[in-house]
């Protein structure tokens, strides 16, 4: 029998309320901060991610789902949203609208990663971007939005890790200092670090191999090497976050795994920090538009992992609004076509009055019908058999009452409709 591919999951009805709640809260908070929804394609030209996400990232080196389609185009299932949203911004000339363009997207992403708790090959993100403005006020706004989004979900006691990784003015000097630090420890480094030292030394700070930890901890910190512009940008961000009541931990080893970042980088962690536990992360990417062939356009954004948010909601026993389930269960008894037709008509009346109704189908015993009604957690059951047809009644059971009642059809419908209204607080 086929199984869902490794690293993917089926989200069954009982888990849907968690996802809907996270997505509805995301849309509410995004709107509260003036962000508008976009939807970009699930697949793009592979070059967009190779260039945008970056050749030396884990994503491009080993995690992309790429293929050649029947028209011989080199296609990749999106591993993230940022290059796509920037492409859409450039393609549609959004620079001619008021800046920054505040955009968000709820999307599924694909990364050929090693599956483990909170790490999937297909996963969902809330991605939020502000493109077209370099003011640190936008960085502060996005971090504040992320913070309030988690708070609105009931996820509190978060830890915000923050760092600045400079710009093309100060980065060469810092990379030189970093290379010189690491060169004196070359023998002790893991294979990945040795390989990356020449191409992308920043990533060495991110290494999780135990023997590399003391070397990374002793490395020079970027915030001590920032140029004046980057320093004042970072200081303004700290001041603005303080005014929002958000206290970050400055983490000089936070560099993030994507190549496009400049200046601000951040990640948000729930109280129990595990290796894979970041709820989300982001930062500024002032060079990305040019990498993609557009004019210089600053930008900043973040993405939160929806599955990770759901995992944390469950771990913290946070209740989410239930789905509205069927209120009435309507069954015919016996195999007379008149009973089935009357049950159909009764169901039709309920639905026409806005009451969600579950129509029992097939031939089952009354016991089996009752078990079904119980599992569906309905408020009313309606049974219609030969006897009810003869007397023009139905057998109506209000599940909060001990006994069923025989009522004329019209009266039974009114009872259910009125009860449904009361239940919905109208
Ligand atoms: P990222 O750090 O690669 O950033 O992903 C953001 C979040 O997506 C992670 O913190 C995590 O919650 C979730 N995530 C990533 N990979 C997986 C996975 N395999 N399974 C489950 N969840 C996962 C980005 O994607 C950037 N585009 C964020 C950004 C937006 N930067 C600027 N703007």
- Please report where in the chains the tokens 């309920």 appear, as a residue: 350
Residue closest via CA to ligand 1's atom 9 equals 280
Residue closest via CA to ligand 1's atom 14 equals 305
Cα-to-centroid distance, 235 and ligand 1 (Å): 26
- Residue 424 clears pLDDT 80, i.e. is over it: no
Residue closest via CA to ligand 1's atom 15 equals 305
Cα-to-centroid distance, 278 and ligand 1 (Å): 9
Q: Which helix H or strand E contains 214, and what residues bound it?
A: helix 213-217
Cα-to-centroid distance, 348 and ligand 1 (Å): 46
Which is the closest atom of ligand 1 to the Cα of 81?
A: 27
Cα-to-centroid distance, 258 and ligand 1 (Å): 10
Cα-to-centroid distance, 127 and ligand 1 (Å): 9
Ligand 1 test: best mutation among 303, 308, 309, most atoms within 8 Å of CB?
A: 303
Cα-to-centroid distance, 275 and ligand 1 (Å): 14
Indicate the average pLDDT of the chain: 95
Taking only the tens place, the pLDDT of each residue in 91-119 is: 999 999 999 999 999 999 999 999 998 99
Ligand 1 test: best mutation among 280, 286, 287, most atoms within 8 Å of CB?
A: 280
Q: Calculate what percentage of the chain has a pLDDT beyond 70.
A: 98
Taking only the tens place, the pLDDT of each residue in 195-217 is: 889 888 999 998 989 999 999 99
Q: Inter-axis angle of helices 171-183 and 191-199, to 10 degrees? A: 150
What the block records as the tokens of 305 is 């992992």
Range with the lowest mean pLDDT among 49-53, 120-124, 163-167, 190-194? 190-194
Ligand 1 test: best mutation among 281, 309, 313, most atoms within 8 Å of CB?
A: 281
CA distances from 205 to 81, 182, 208, 233, 255 (A): 25, 10, 9, 22, 7
Residue closest via CA to ligand 1's atom 8 equals 305
Which is more confidently placed, 273 or 309? 309
- Predicted TM-score (pTM) of the model is 0.94
Judge contact between 413 and 353, C-beta under 8 A: yes
Taking only the tens place, the pLDDT of each residue in 294-306 is: 999 999 999 999 9
- Residue 276 clears pLDDT 90, i.e. is over it: no
What number is the average pLDDT over the span 281-309? 98
Bridge-based pairing state of the strands 159-164 and 101-110: unpaired
Rounded Cα distance between 249 and 319, Å, is 29
Residue closest via CA to ligand 1's atom 33 equals 301
User: Which pLDDT does position 426 carry in this prediction?
Assistant: 47
What number is the average pLDDT over the span 418-425? 76
Which is the closest atom of ligand 1 to the Cα of 267?
A: 10
- Residue 156 clears pLDDT 90, i.e. is over it: no
Which is the closest atom of ligand 1 to the Cα of 256?
A: 2
- ∠ CA 266-293-298, nearest 5°, is 35
Q: Which residues have C-beta atoms less than 6 Å from ligand 1?
A: 80-82, 111, 113, 118-120, 123, 125, 127, 129, 258, 278-283, 285, 301-305, 307-308
Cα-to-centroid distance, 111 and ligand 1 (Å): 10
- Residue 288 clears pLDDT 60, i.e. is over it: yes
Phi, psi of 197 (to 5 degrees): -55, -40
User: Which pLDDT does position 273 carry in this prediction?
Assistant: 53
What the block records as the tokens of 130 is 């502000």
- Residue 161 clears pLDDT 60, i.e. is over it: yes
């Amino acid at each position: 029998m086929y199984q869902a591919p490794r690293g993917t999951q089926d989200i069954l009805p009982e888990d849907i309320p968690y996802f809907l709640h996270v997505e509805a809260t995301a849309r509410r908070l995004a709107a509260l901060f003036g962000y508008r929804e976009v939807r970009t394609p699930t697949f793009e030209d592979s070059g967009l991610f190779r260039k945008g996400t970056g050749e030396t990232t884990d994503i491009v080196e080993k995690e992309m789902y790429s293929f050649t389609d029947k028209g011989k185009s080199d296609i990749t299932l999106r591993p993230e949203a940022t290059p796509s949203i920037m492409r859409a911004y450039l393609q549609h000339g959004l620079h001619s609208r008021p800046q920054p363009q505040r955009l968000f997207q709820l999307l599924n992403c694909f990364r050929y990663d090693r599956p483990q708790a909170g790490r999937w090959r297909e996963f969902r993100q809330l991605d939020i971007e502000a493109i077209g403005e370099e003011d640190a006020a936008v960085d502060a706004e996005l971090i504040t939005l992320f913070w309030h989004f988690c708070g609105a979900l009931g996820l509190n006691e978060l830890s915000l890790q923050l760092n600045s990784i400079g710009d093309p003015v100060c980065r060469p000097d810092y990379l030189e200092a970093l290379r010189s630090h690491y060169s004196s420890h070359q023998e002790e480094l893991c294979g990945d670090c040795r390989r990356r030292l020449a191409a992308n030394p920043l990533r060495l700070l991110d290494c999780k191999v135990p023997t590399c930890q003391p070397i990374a901890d002793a490395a020079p910190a970027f915030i001590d090497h920032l140029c004046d512009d980057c320093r004042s940008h970072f200081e303004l961000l700290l001041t603005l976050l303080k005014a929002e009541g958000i206290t970050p931990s400055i983490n000089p080893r936070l560099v993030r795994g994507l190549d496009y970042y400049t200046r601000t980088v951040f990640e948000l962690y729930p109280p129990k920090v595990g290796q894979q536990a970041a709820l989300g992360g982001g930062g500024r990417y002032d060079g990305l538009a040019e990498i993609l062939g557009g004019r210089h356009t600053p930008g900043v954004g973040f993405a939160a992992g929806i599955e990770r948010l759901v995992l944390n909601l469950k771990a913290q026993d946070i209740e989410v609004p239930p789905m509205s389930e069927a209120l009435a269960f309507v069954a015919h008894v016996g195999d007379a076509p008149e009973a089935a037709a009357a049950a159909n008509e009764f169901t039709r009346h309920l639905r026409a009055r806005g009451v969600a109704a579950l129509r029992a189908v097939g031939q089952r015993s009354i016991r089996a019908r009752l078990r079904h009604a119980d599992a569906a957690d309905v408020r009313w059951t309606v049974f219609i058999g030969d006897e009810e047809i003869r007397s023009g009644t139905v057998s109506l059971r209000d599940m909060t009452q001990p006994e069923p009642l025989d009522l004329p059809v019209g009266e039974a419908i009114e009872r259910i409709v009125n009860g449904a209204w009361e239940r919905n607080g109208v």
